[in-house]
Each structure stands twice: as C-alpha cells, then as structure tokens.
C-alpha cells in the first residue's frame, strides 16, 4: 500500500481512516513504511497517524528523546488530536514513555513494542552516552546473557570491529 505523505507546518505524516486517533511512532532507523500493516489493520476503526520524527533534521545538540517528545506534543497540539493512543516502537517507545510522563492527561493509552528506555536506571530524555569497551561489554552481558550460563571461553570479539 502507498499512502500520501502530508506536509503541514514543518510536519510530515500519514493520516488514514476515521475514528479515535492512533499515533504510531517509529524507531531510530524506522520509517513511515514500517507501520503499513498496522495502518491496514486499524484504519477502519481509528484515524491512524504516523508522523515522521525529525531524528536526522534536528540540530545535533537538540537531537534527544526529550526534543522528540516535544516534537510529538507540538504535532498533537497542531493537529488538535483529542485523547490519542500512542504506539511506539524502539526509540518511538522511549519517546512515548517520556511524552506520557510529561503529559499524562493528553493520551488515553500507550502501547510499547521493543521499546528502549525501559531498563535505564532513570528514564530520561537523553540517548545513552557512548562509553568504552568495558561498559559496552557489561551492558551486552546484562541484556543478552544469564551470567551463570555464560561459557568461560566466551568473548566479545564481535564488538571489536
């Protein structure tokens, strides 16, 4: 399916269907097209909206989760959506978490799929900082391995690219 990308007030988005607003937020390397099956499934009962988040067009110093949550708020306000449901995938889920934390009365529900931002010590408005090799190794072990099941000869050579 191909949908028209609408452009208004510096926003680019797809909007299909009629009914309660269902806003889909893509991940870091995501695109509007990632949600096409969801649009097809829900456009009969909802107004399905997919804004293109300005991940690559914000100034570098302002490219963070908080700024993207502010973008979502500006978009919802501009379009005058009432009680939308936010669905966020990956980074879009992190943006959803930060947005709902700041504006809990604006949305009626949120759905997270593969969301980042869930396991940080303090959910906030920034991307994780790049750290050194040992930091990355610890995070990978914590995220993907059960330490007591880790083989003694296991190494992180795949990170040494």
| 52-89 per-position pLDDT tens digit | 998 888 888 888 899 999 999 999 999 999 999 999 98
Q: How far apart are CA 17 and CA 10, in angstroms?
A: 22
Q: Are 16 and 3 in contact (CB under 8 A)?
A: yes
Per-residue pLDDT, averaged over 35-64, amounts to 89
Instruction: Give CATH 3.40.50.1820 domain extents, the chain.
Output: 6-125
CATH number of 6-125: 3.40.50.1820
SS3 117: coil
- pTM assigned to the model: 0.72
Which of left, alpha, beta for 10 (phi over 0: left; psi -120 to 50: alpha)? left
Fill in the DSSP letter of residue 101: H
Q: What pLDDT does 160 receive?
A: 37
């Amino acid at each position: 399916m191909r949908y028209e990308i609408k452009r208004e007030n510096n926003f680019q988005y797809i909007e299909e269907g009629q009914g309660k607003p269902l806003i889909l937020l893509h991940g870091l390397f995501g695109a509007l097209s990632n949600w096409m099956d969801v649009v097809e499934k829900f456009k009969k009962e909802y107004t399905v909206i997919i804004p293109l988040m300005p991940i690559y067009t914000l100034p570098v110093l302002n490219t963070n989760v908080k700024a993207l949550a502010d973008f979502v708020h500006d978009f919802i306000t501009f379009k005058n959506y009432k009680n939308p449901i936010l669905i966020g995938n990956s980074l879009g889920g992190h943006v959803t978490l930060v947005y709902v934390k700041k504006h809990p009365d604006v949305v009626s529900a949120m759905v997270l799929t593969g969301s980042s931002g869930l396991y940080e010590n303090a959910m906030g408005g920034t991307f994780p900082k790049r750290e050194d090799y040992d930091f990355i190794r610890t995070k990978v072990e914590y995220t993907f391995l059960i330490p007591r099941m880790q083989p003694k000869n296991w190494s992180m050579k795949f990170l040494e690219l």
